[in-house]
């Protein structure tokens, strides 16, 4: 989709792009809060407006017929959440091997409330040695766009403090389903 078309659709639904296009060629992209099925289409429109081609992870069942082919065509990568796969290593390798890649990962792991985000996005960025770019969906202001770019240090709490600051005033469509921005790894570090 072209920037002009994305802007027209955003205007039609009353959303405004904000922030600036990320400067990194390869990064892990967090789009949060994620409490609605509308989050993905809005995030993809914002990415199109900023002329950022994203690939994104979604649960395997989303890619079943009848819409699976379309979701793959617009950058979707199916993830089997039931199987024991080393997604961190797999996704880190995708990023390392690519010339450019914006890999959007739903850090919350679900649309429902959770007390901890999934840490995969962090460790993928850390293993691939690429930054994490934060993008916000703010339903109160009807604004979405890119913001903080964070290089991981292995100090999970310090890095997450930067991410928390970015999302501190974000308004989810369903605020009761947007839990705290924290990882279990902050409480019991896994590795550095």
Tens digit of each residue's pLDDT (9 = 90 or more) over 126-135: 999 999 999 9
- How many Cα atoms sit within 13 Å of 36 on the Cβ side? 14
The tokens 């069942």 sit on which residue?
Answer: 61
pLDDT digits (tens, 9 = 90+) for 71-105: 898 888 887 766 556 888 989 999 999 999 999 98
In angstroms, the CA 141 to CA 13 distance is 13
Torsion of CA 125, 50, 55, 61, to 10 degrees: 120
pTM of the model: 0.87
Burial of 78 (C-beta count, 10 Å sphere; 0-12/13-18/19+): middle
Cis preceding-peptide flag for 33 (omega within 30 of 0): yes
């Amino acid at each position: 989709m072209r920037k002009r078309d994305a802007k027209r659709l955003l205007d039609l639904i009353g959303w405004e792009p904000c922030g600036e296009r990320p400067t990194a060629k390869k990064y892990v992209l967090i789009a949060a809060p994620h409490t609605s099925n509308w989050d993905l289409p809005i995030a993809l429109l914002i990415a199109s407006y900023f002329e950022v081609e994203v690939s994104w992870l979604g649960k395997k069942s989303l890619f079943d017929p009848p819409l699976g082919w379309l979701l793959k065509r617009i950058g979707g990568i199916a993830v089997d959440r039931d199987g024991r796969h080393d997604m961190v290593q797999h996704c880190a390798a995708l990023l390392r091997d690519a010339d450019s890649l914006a890999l959007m990962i739903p850090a919350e792991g679900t649309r429902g409330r959770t007390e901890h985000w999934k840490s995969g996005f962090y460790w993928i960025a850390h293993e691939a040695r690429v930054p994490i770019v934060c993008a916000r969906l703010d339903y109160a202001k009807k604004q979405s766009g890119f913001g903080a770019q964070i290089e991981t240090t292995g100090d999970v709490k310090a890095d997450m403090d930067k991410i928390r600051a970015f999302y501190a005033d974000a308004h989810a469509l369903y605020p009761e389903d947007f839990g705290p921005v924290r990882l279990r790894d902050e409480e019991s570090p896994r590795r550095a």
